[in-house]
Structures are given as structure tokens and as C-alpha cells.
Amino acid sequence: MRRFDLTPLLRSSVGFDDLFRLTDSLTGLEQEGGFPPYNIERMSDDDYRIEMAVAGFAPDELDVQVQENTLTVSGQAAQQDDDRTYLHRGIAKRAFERTFRLADSIRVQGARFENGLLVIDLVREVPEHKRPRRIEIASAHANAAKTPRVEQKDRDDTAQAA
């Protein structure tokens, strides 16, 4: 039996665990090309990181925006010097726009530029009422033992007290 690799379905989504939300990948709506290359890393249960290789770009040539559940990273290269003559040009410095779908509970914590990488930190913030919690199961026998018994006094004792 063949095994299927579902990794391409998970590429540009962060915080989703169910496959039905990733149907855009199956319908061909995912972005074409692989520029710029990126990694999505799970740092812990609630922390994620996106790293994009943006060699040749300066921080002021990059733009990171969040609108609703979409994170958009774009780069606009400054005017290039036409007086240069390249023997080999392997560093692509062309305009790009890459979008990532974020789950409702994912919030962008910040972005930084270091060593040619754009690093975007994400955190999952699940509201308290949506967090899993443990419910203790009590048995009927245990409840009966814990319930204090109220004994009824004789009517005579009650009348004497009055």
C-alpha cells in the first residue's frame, strides 16, 4: 500500500489541526512558486515561528500585515543598479507577496530581521472557556456516602424545646 504525504497541505496554515480548512491547497489556490523559501516551526504547544529567507532585502523593504485571519508578508525591492554586470545572479531580489492563513486563536506576537531571515513569532491564545478541563466523575454510591444525613427529631423533643 502506498503512503501519501500530506505535508503540502499544511504549508501555509498555522494553528489549524483539521484538514477540511485546507481545501484551498487541493483546489490549486495555493501560491505558485517557492519564493521566498520559508519554514513554519512549532516551538511549543502554543508558540509558532515563521522564518523567511529574504536575502538581499533590507528591513524597510519588507512589510508584514495581519488582517482578520490572514498574515501577509510582502517585499518590494528598491531600484536596482543597472550599471552592474553580473556573471552569475543567484540571489533573487524580486517583489513578492506570501500569505498565511491563521487560526482564530493565533496572534502575531512580533517580527524581527536577523541574518537575512525575517522571523515572525506567533502565539496561540485559547480563551479559558475553550480550554480543555478535567471533569471529575462521581458515582452515586460516593455521593450518598458524602451527603450528610439529617435525622428527624421526635415531635416531643421539638415541643419541649418550644
> Would you tell me how many other CB atoms lie within 10 Å of the CB of residue 19?
12
Q: Does the pLDDT at position 100 exceed 50? A: yes
Mean pLDDT of 31-46: 82
Which residues on neighbouring strands pair with residue 74, listed in sequence order?
63, 97
Distance, in Å, from the CA atom of 23 to the CA atom of 151, rounded to the nearest integer, reads 65
pLDDT (tens digit per residue) in 128-147: 887 788 899 988 775 555 65
Distance, in Å, from the CA atom of 48 to the CA atom of 106, rounded to the nearest integer, reads 9
Which residues on neighbouring strands pair with residue 123, listed in sequence order?
47, 107
Q: What are the structural domains, with CATH classification, of the chain? A: 7-131 (2.60.40.790)
C-alpha dist (Å) from residue 120 to 28, 38, 44, 66, 155: 26, 11, 15, 12, 77
pTM, entire model = 0.61
Mean pLDDT of 142-156: 57
Q: pLDDT-based confidence at 25, cuts 50/70/90?
A: very low
Answer yes or no: are the C-beta atoms of 24 and 70 closer than 8 Å.
no
Q: Does the pLDDT at position 30 exceed 60? A: no
Mean pLDDT, the chain, integer: 76
Answer yes or no: are the C-beta atoms of 10 and 22 closer than 8 Å.
yes
